[in-house]
């Protein structure tokens, strides 16, 4: 059977929308090209000298890996020239990334994590690029941070590329979730997972249980619930934790389950956990909701959180609806 390419699918959607100008399709196509280049670099990582650390510390206080820096550079270089963006924000850059005046400007804002799960790079575990696309709220002038700090509910598109045993792109524009697999022989993403639906309830929980002693009571109760057997009427969930958000999320999206990165008391400077709202939680929350799942910070929908700063962190409970609601119920109980 002939499979359609991601570009063909984008064009079908564009034609179905009479107001479409083609700019959004071009934007995603540019991003896809950037991701193909990142994928190529990731694939040859063991062969050339791009593993290891650069010696720098990023805005998150984390050591920068060479491949992180390379992926960030590739995406910024291509997307600055696309003529479709008015600004970008990356997990690796402290401030908004402006579009230099010599390049054309557009209405869209791209927020991204260039290489999520980068601590796994050196040991050949799947990693990914996460993206979120917003439309600016003012018509012209320099982009203000207020224009970038929009709730996740305002995303125009979101998704991720996963560099695994094969490279995949999974995205939504608010019309379901579609997965494409890169066919390296032709260099095209082909539709392999149309209209992905996450099971209502899964059999897997994913969390870094090594932090147990730093958790609050609701988190301990939630994790204990997923491990418990309920007098043998209910089987315990299996624990699967890769430590690479895109990979853990992708597995649960296809097979069901819950991923949790709760707040913990390890570092008083990071009271809300490790994951970032704008470039990690929001895009994955949009994808999971479009696939029939749920995402919460323990109290409210991720997509309803009002951001107050670009690099703000949030607890994250994301995956199959029943499992996320179950985890959140322990926080509700405490706050009742």
Q: Nearer to ligand AHM by C-beta: 91 or 147? A: 91
CB count, 10 Å around CB of 244?
A: 23
The nearest distance, CB 39 to ligand AHM, in angstroms, is 17
Cβ closer to Mg ion: 116 or 147? 116
- Which of ligand AHM, Mg ion, none binds 243 (CB below 5-8 Å, type-dependent)? ligand AHM
Q: Which among ligand AHM, Mg ion, none contacts residue 153 (Cβ within 5 to 8 A by kind)?
A: none
Contact 89, 78 (CB under 8 A): no
Our finding on whether 262 is near ligand AHM (CB under 6 A) is no
Q: Does 30 interact with Mg ion (rule: CB under 5 A)?
A: no
Q: Is 118 in the site for ligand AHM (CB under 6 A)?
A: yes
Nearer to ligand AHM, 119 or 312 (CB): 119
Q: Which does 62 bind (CB under 5 to 8 A by kind): Mg ion, ligand AHM, none?
A: ligand AHM
69 binds ligand AHM (CB under 6 A): no
Residue window 11-50: x/- pattern of binding to ligand AHM, with contact defined by CB under 6 A: ----------------------------------------
User: Site for Mg ion (CB under 5 A): which residue of 69, 116, 264, 289?
Assistant: 116
Residue 282 CB neighbours (<10 A): 28
Residue 245 near ligand AHM by CB under 6 A: yes
**Selected range binding ligand AHM among 101-109, 112-120, 158-166, 183-191, rule: CB under 6 A:** 112-120
Give Cβ neighbours of residue 148 (< 8 Å, ≥ 6 apart).
Answer: 87, 89, 96, 109, 111, 134, 278, 310
CA nearest to 239, candidates 265, 211, 262, 260: 260
- 271: contact with ligand AHM by CB under 6 A: no
Instruction: Check binding of 113 to Mg ion (CB under 5 A).
Output: yes
Ramachandran angles phi, psi of 258, nearest 5°: -130, 135
State the DSSP string of 254-285. HH--EEEE---SS-TT-TT-S-BIIIIIHHHH
Contact 110, 98 (CB under 8 A): no
Indicate which of Mg ion, ligand AHM, none lies near residue 118 (CB less than 5 to 8 Å, by partner kind): ligand AHM
Give the burial string for 7-16 (b: 16+ CB within 10 Å, else e): eebbbeeeee
Q: How far is the CB of 113 from Mg ion (least distance, A)?
A: 4
What is the C-alpha separation between 114 and 67, in angstroms, rounded? 9
User: In sequence order, what are the residues at sequence separation of 6 or more whose Cβ sits closer than 8 angstroms to the Cβ of residue 98?
Assistant: 87, 142, 143
**CB closer to Mg ion, 116 vs 289:** 116
Among 195, 208, 238, 265, binds ligand AHM (CB under 6 A): 208
Q: Which long-range contacts (CB under 8 A, 24 or more apart) does 272-276 make?
A: 272/297, 272/312, 272/313, 272/314, 272/315, 273/313, 273/314, 273/315, 273/316, 274/313, 275/245, 275/313, 275/314, 275/315, 275/316, 276/60, 276/91, 276/113, 276/311, 276/312, 276/313, 276/314
> Strand pairing of 97-98 and 85-90?
antiparallel
Closer of 25 and 247 to Mg ion (Cβ): 247
Stretch that binds ligand AHM, among 38-46, 80-88, 173-181, 241-249 (CB under 6 A): 241-249
- Interaction partner, residue 137 (Mg ion, ligand AHM, none; CB < 5-8 Å by kind): none
Name which of 85 and 318 has its Cβ closer to ligand AHM.
318
Q: HSE (CB half, 13 Å, CA atoms) of 161? A: 25
Query: For binding to Mg ion (CB under 5 A), which residues are involved?
Result: 113, 116
Query: For binding to ligand AHM (CB under 6 A), which residues are involved?
Result: 62, 91, 113, 116-119, 208, 243-245, 274
């Amino acid at each position: 059977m002939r499979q359609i390419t991601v570009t063909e699918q984008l064009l079908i959607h564009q034609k179905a929308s009479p107001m479409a100008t083609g700019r959004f399709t071009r934007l995603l196509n540019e991003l896809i090209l950037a991701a193909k280049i990142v994928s190529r670099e990731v694939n040859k990582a063991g062969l050339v000298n791009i593993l290891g650390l650069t010696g720098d510390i990023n805005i998150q206080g984390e050591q920068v890996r060479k491949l992180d820096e390379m992926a960030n550079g590739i995406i910024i270089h291509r997307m600055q020239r696309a003529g479709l963006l008015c600004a970008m924000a990356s997990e690796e850059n402290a401030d908004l990334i402006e579009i230099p005046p010599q390049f054309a400007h557009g209405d869209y804002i791209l927020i991204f994590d260039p290489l999520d799960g980068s601590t796994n790079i050196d040991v050949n575990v799947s990693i990914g690029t996460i993206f979120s696309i917003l439309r600016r709220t003012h018509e012209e002038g320099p982009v203000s941070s207020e224009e970038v700090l929009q709730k996740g509910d305002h995303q125009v598109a979101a998704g991720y590329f996963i560099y695994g045993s094969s490279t995949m792109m999974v995205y939504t524009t608010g019309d379901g979730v579609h997965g494409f697999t890169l066919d390296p022989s032709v260099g095209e993403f082909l539709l392999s997972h149309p209209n992905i639906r996450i099971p209502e309830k899964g059999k897997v929980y994913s969390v870094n249980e090594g932090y147990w002693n730093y958790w609050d009571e609701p988190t301990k109760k939630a994790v204990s619930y997923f491990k418990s057997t309920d007098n043998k009427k209910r089987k315990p969930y299996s624990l699967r934790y890769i430590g690479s958000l895109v990979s853990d999320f992708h597995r649960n999206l296809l097979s069901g389950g819950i991923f949790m990165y709760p707040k913990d008391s390890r570092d008083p400077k990071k009271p809300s956990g490790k994951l970032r709202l704008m470039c990690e939680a929001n895009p994955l929350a949009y994808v999971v909701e479009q696939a029939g799942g749920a995402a919460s910070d323990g109290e409210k929908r991720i997509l309803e959180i009002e951001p107050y700063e670009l690099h703000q962190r949030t607890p994250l409970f994301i995956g199959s609806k029943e499992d996320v609601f179950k985890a959140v119920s322990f926080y509700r109980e405490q706050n009742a």
